[in-house]
A and B are shown apart, each in its own frame.
Chain A
Amino acid sequence: MTTARERVLGRVRAALQDVPADEPAERSLQRTYADSHGMGPTLEVLVDRLDDYKALVRRVRPEELAGQVAAALERRGAQRVVVPSGAPDGWFAETGVERVPDSREDPLPLEALDGVDGAVTGCAVAVAESGTIVLDGEPDQGRRATTLVPDYHLCVVRAEQVVDAVPEAVRMLEPTRPLTWISGPSATSDIELDRVEGVHGPRTLEVLVVAADG
C-alpha cells in the first residue's frame, strides 16, 4: 500500500513534467530590492512608527534608563512585574516594584503569570521603518508567554539594536530561536473596520529607546 507521503510526492512529480530535469532546485535571492528606503533618521522613524501604532515610546540616555523604568512602572501603577532571568539588574536600580523572575529552566506557572502587573524585557532587533520589535527568547527577553499573558509590556531597546528595514533585521535573526515580531499593542479591526487597540495580547506596549545622545 502506498503511503500518503508517496502519493503526494508522486502527484507533485507527475504535475511537474514540464520542468527540465537539469533546472537547479536551489535558488538564492536576486535582491534587486532595496535594503532600506531612506525614510529618515533611524531612531526618529522608529519612534514615529511606534507612536502611530499607539505604543507609548520615550527616548532616553543610558544614565536615565533606571529612572525611566521606575517612572514607567510608577505611571502604570505596577506592583509586581515578571522579569526574565537575563534582564540586567541595573534597569531596576531605582524602582521598588517587586520583580518576579522567570526562565525556561524555572518557569512561572500560567496562573502566576496571569497575576502579575506587567513584563519588562529587552529585545533582539528593532526595525525602524515598520515600527517592529523582535524578541528571540534570549535570557533578557524570556519565554514567549512572559510577554504575552501580562497586560503590560515594557521593552528596552538599545540604539545599536535598531536597523532601518526588514531585510537587515531578517539577516540578523537566528531562525531556530522562537521569534516574536511585535508592532504596537494587540489590535483588531474586525468590527466594522474600526481599529481597537488591545484584544488578547498586552493592551499596553511601552518602549524605552536608549541612545547615548538621548
Chain B
Amino acid sequence: MSATFLGIPPFPEAAHTAVEDSQLRHNLRKATHTIRDKRGQVVDELGDDWSALRSEGAAIKEHTLRHLDHYLEQVEDSVQRAGGTVHWASDAAEANEIVTRLVHETGQSDVVKVKSMATQEIELNQALERAGITAYETDLAELIVQLGDDLPSHILVPAIHLGRAQIREIFLQQMAEWGVPAPPGLTDDPRALAEAARVHLRERFLSTRTAISGANFVVADSGTLVVLESEGNGRMCLTLPETLISVVGIEKIVPTFDDLEVFMQLLPRSSTGERMNPYTSMWTGITPGDGPQEFHLVLLDNGRTDVLGDTVGRQALRCIRCSACLNACPVYERAGGHAYGSVYPGPIGAILTPQLQGMSSEVDKALPYASSLCGACYEVCPVAIDIPEVLVHLREQVAEGPGHTGEKAMMAGAEAALSSPATLDAAQRAASLARGAVPQHLPGLAGNWTDTRSVPEIPEESFRRWWKKRGGERS
C-alpha cells in the first residue's frame, strides 16, 4: 500500500468551491443518516437474535484468523480441486505482477472489473495501464469516479460526494472517451443516469473476455467465493467472461459454507440496511458450460500478516467492509471519506490503514487520532471490532515511537472535525506534519494523483479553509 495523504485536499481542484463543499456536507449527512436509519430498522427487526448473530460472526472470524495458515492451505486445496488456480502475493507489486501476467496470457487488452477494495489498495488499475491493459470499472459509483478522474469517498457509496448534476456533467463529457457516449439529451434524473450507465456498459459486458473481481468471503471447506452486490454488474463480470481473476485479502476466509448462515444475515443488514442485497453470486472453481472456464484466485498479504501479529490490532482483520462504522461516526460525517487519505475511510480506515502500512509516516501516525473515541463504531460493528480499543493501542504505539511531539497537535484532528474553530491552530500544526511527510510525487494511492500529476503544495491558506469547511464549523 502506498502513502496516504491526510491533510491534502484530495479532491480535484474543481470540487473546492464553497457550493460544492456544502453539497458534500449535505450528501454525506443525508447518506450516513439514511443508511443508519435503514440499518437500525432491519437490525431491530431481528430482536435479540442480532447480538447472537454478531457474537457468532465475531467468533468465526476470530477463530479463522487464529488458524489462518490452516485455512489458507485448505482454501488452496479446495479451489484447485474445483478447477481453479491459486496464486500467492506477499505484497502489492507481486499481486499486480501476477494479474498483469494472467491478463497478458489471455491475449486481451481490456478487462471489466467489479468493485474491489483490495485491487484499489494495490492500485491494480494503474499497474495494468502501465502494461497497456485498460480496466473498466462497472459498479455505477466506481464508473462515476473513474470517468470523473476522482477518488472514492465511502466504502458502500463511493460517489456520495457528488450530486446528480455533477454526475450528469461527468457522463456527458467523459463517457464518449471510454466507450458508448451519453445520450445528448441526458437529464440529471437518477433513472436516466442509471440507464445511461446501462447502455454505456452493455456492449462492454457482452464482449469483454476477462474480468477481475474481489470477494466478500472465501469459504475454506468448499472453495466457494461470494460476492454481494446490487446492480448486476457483478453477475455480468462473474458470469459472462471466459477468464475470471479474483484478488482477495487473506483475511476474507471463513471456514465452512454453513458460516454463510451468519454472514448472509449480518452483512446486508449492516451494509445497505436491506434485508438482502439484490444479487449475491457464489461460485466454486469452474462449472463446465456455465460461466468462466478459467478461474484464478490471488491470495493477497500486503501488510495483513503484520496486523495479524499484533494481538490487539488483529481484530481489525475481522472486518467484512459493511461500512456501518462510517455511517455511525460523527467525525466521518463531517470530514468525509477523502480526509482519511486511504481506500479504507472512516473508523475502520483509522485502525486498518496505519497497521497495514506500519505507521511509517506522520500521516499514518495521525490516523489513530481521527476519532473522538465515542464508541458508536463498535456498537454497530457486525463482527464486534472494538475500534476504540485499537485506536488507543495505536496511539500508545505512536506515543512510544520516535518523534511523538506531534501527538497533541494530531489529537486536535478529531476535535476540529467535531466542534471547535479554536482548535484550528492545532489542526494546522497537524497539517504541517502531514505536509512535511508528503512527497512531491506520490507513489500513488489513486491513479489521478500519480502518474500524470505532481502533488500540489498545500498552501497554508487553502488548507485552513479546507479544514474549516470540512470540520471547523458547527453543523
- Report the separation of the CA atoms of residues A181 and B265 in the bound assembly, to the nearest whole angstrom: 13
- Report the separation of the CA atoms of residues A182 and B234 in the bound assembly, to the nearest whole angstrom: 12
Instruction: Judge if B84 is at the interface, Cβ distance under 8 Å.
Output: no
Find B67's partner among A19, A137, A144, A194 (CB 8 Å cutoff): A19
A149 contact set on B, CB distance < 8 A: 206, 240
1/0 contact trace for A156-189 toward B, CB 8 Å? 0000000000110011010111111111111111
Q: Which of A49, A132, A191, A196 has the most chain B CB atoms closer than 10 A to its own CB? A: A191
Q: Are A144 and B258 in contact (CB under 8 A)?
A: no
Instruction: Judge if A1 is at the interface, Cβ distance under 8 Å.
Output: no
- Report the separation of the CA atoms of residues A5 and B260 in the bound assembly, to the nearest whole angstrom: 27
Q: Are A32 and B72 in contact (CB under 8 A)?
A: no
Q: Are A8 and B231 in contact (CB under 8 A)?
A: no
A171 contact set on B, CB distance < 8 A: 258, 261
B205 contact set on A, CB distance < 8 A: 200
Instruction: Judge if A15 is at the interface, Cβ distance under 8 Å.
Output: yes
A144 with B194: in contact, given A4-B94, A29-B259, A171-B261 (CB under 8 Å)? no
Find B290's partner among A9, A127, A144 (CB 8 Å cutoff): A144
Chain A residue with the shortest CB-CB distance to B35:
A193
Q: Are A170 and B258 in contact (CB under 8 A)?
A: yes
Chain A residue with the shortest CB-CB distance to B255:
A27
Query: How many residues on B have C-beta within 8 angstroms of the other chain's C-beta atoms?
Result: 99
Q: Are B264 and A193 in contact (CB under 8 A)?
A: no
- Report the separation of the CA atoms of residues A84 and B49 in the bound assembly, to the nearest whole angstrom: 39
Chain A residue with the shortest CB-CB distance to B236:
A200
B384 contact set on A, CB distance < 8 A: none
Q: Which of B6-14, B55-63, B416-424 is the interface stretch?
A: B55-63
A12 with B68: in contact, given A176-B222, A187-B230, A200-B236 (CB under 8 Å)? yes
Q: Are B262 and A33 in contact (CB under 8 A)?
A: yes
A131 with B261: in contact, given A9-B73, A200-B205 (CB under 8 Å)? no
1/0 contact trace for B268-286 toward A, CB 8 Å? 1000101111111111100
Q: Are A8 and B72 in contact (CB under 8 A)?
A: yes
Chain B residue with the shortest CB-CB distance to A6:
B88
- Report the separation of the CA atoms of residues A196 and B421 in the bound assembly, to the nearest whole angstrom: 40
- Report the separation of the CA atoms of residues A23 and B64 in the bound assembly, to the nearest whole angstrom: 12
- Shortest distance from the beta carbon of A54 to any chain B beta carbon, whole Å: 10
Q: Which of B304-312, B337-345, B387-395, B460-468 is the interface stretch?
A: B304-312
- Report the separation of the CA atoms of residues A202 and B231 in the bound assembly, to the nearest whole angstrom: 9
B163 contact set on A, CB distance < 8 A: 192
Q: Are B157 and A181 in contact (CB under 8 A)?
A: no
Q: Are B232 and A199 in contact (CB under 8 A)?
A: yes
Instruction: Judge if A76 is at the interface, Cβ distance under 8 Å.
Output: no
- Report the separation of the CA atoms of residues A177 and B264 in the bound assembly, to the nearest whole angstrom: 18
Task: Scan residues 199-225 of chain B and give those whose CB is less than 8 A from a CB of chain A.
Answer: 201-202, 205-206, 219, 222, 224
1/0 contact trace for B43-57 toward A, CB 8 Å? 001110100110110
A184 contact set on B, CB distance < 8 A: 278
Find A200's partner among B31, B201, B275 (CB 8 Å cutoff): B201
Task: Scan residues 4-40 of chain A and give those whose CB is less than 8 A from a CB of chain B.
Answer: 4-5, 7-9, 11-16, 18-19, 23, 25-34, 37, 39
Q: Are A30 and B59 in contact (CB under 8 A)?
A: yes
- Shortest distance from the beta carbon of A24 to any chain B beta carbon, whole Å: 8
Q: Are B56 and A30 in contact (CB under 8 A)?
A: yes
Instruction: Judge if B174 is at the interface, Cβ distance under 8 Å.
Output: no
Instruction: Judge if A67 is at the interface, Cβ distance under 8 Å.
Output: no
Instruction: Judge if A129 is at the interface, Cβ distance under 8 Å.
Output: yes
Interface size class of A (residues with CB under 8 A): 35 or more
- Report the separation of the CA atoms of residues A189 and B201 in the bound assembly, to the nearest whole angstrom: 18
Q: Are B278 and A166 in contact (CB under 8 A)?
A: no
Instruction: Judge if A111 is at the interface, Cβ distance under 8 Å.
Output: yes
- Shortest distance from the beta carbon of A171 to any chain B beta carbon, whole Å: 7
Chain B residue with the shortest CB-CB distance to A14:
B309
A212 contact set on B, CB distance < 8 A: none
Q: Are A130 and B276 in contact (CB under 8 A)?
A: yes
B239 contact set on A, CB distance < 8 A: 144-145, 148
Find A178's partner among B90, B262, B291 (CB 8 Å cutoff): B291
Instruction: Judge if B198 is at the interface, Cβ distance under 8 Å.
Output: yes
Q: Are A4 and B305 in contact (CB under 8 A)?
A: no
Instruction: Judge if B441 is at the interface, Cβ distance under 8 Å.
Output: no
Q: Are A144 and B291 in contact (CB under 8 A)?
A: yes
Q: Are B231 and A200 in contact (CB under 8 A)?
A: yes
Find B250's partner among A3, A8, A145, A192 (CB 8 Å cutoff): A8
Q: Which of A107, A175, A177, A180 has the most chain B CB atoms closer than 10 A to its own CB? A: A175
1/0 contact trace for B154-195 toward A, CB 8 Å? 000111100110010000000000000000000000110110
Q: Are B46 and A148 in contact (CB under 8 A)?
A: no
A192 with B261: in contact, given A29-B56, A180-B279, A200-B231 (CB under 8 Å)? no
- Shortest distance from the beta carbon of A189 to any chain B beta carbon, whole Å: 7
- Report the separation of the CA atoms of residues A188 and B277 in the bound assembly, to the nearest whole angstrom: 10
Q: Name 9 A/B residue pairs within 8 A (Cβ), A-sorted.
A: A5-B88, A12-B250, A12-B308, A27-B255, A104-B288, A148-B232, A180-B281, A182-B278, A199-B231
Q: Which residues of B contact A (CB under 8 A)?
A: 27, 30-31, 34-35, 45-47, 49, 52-53, 55-56, 59-60, 63, 66-73, 82, 87-90, 94, 138-141, 144, 157-160, 163-164, 167, 190-191, 193-194, 197-198, 201-202, 205-206, 219, 222, 224, 230-233, 235-236, 239-240, 250, 255-262, 264-265, 268, 272, 274-284, 287-291, 299, 301, 305-306, 308-309, 311
7 further A-B pairs in the complex, CB-CB below 8 A; given A181-B264, A189-B157: A14-B305, A29-B56, A132-B276, A170-B264, A178-B291, A186-B231, A199-B231
Q: Which residues of A contact B (CB under 8 A)?
A: 3-5, 7-9, 11-16, 18-19, 23, 25-34, 37, 39, 49, 53, 103-105, 107, 110-111, 114, 127, 129-132, 137, 143-145, 148-149, 166-167, 170-171, 173, 175-194, 196, 198-202
Q: Top 5 nearest A-B pairs by Cβ distance?
A: A201-B232, A104-B289, A15-B309, A200-B232, A11-B305
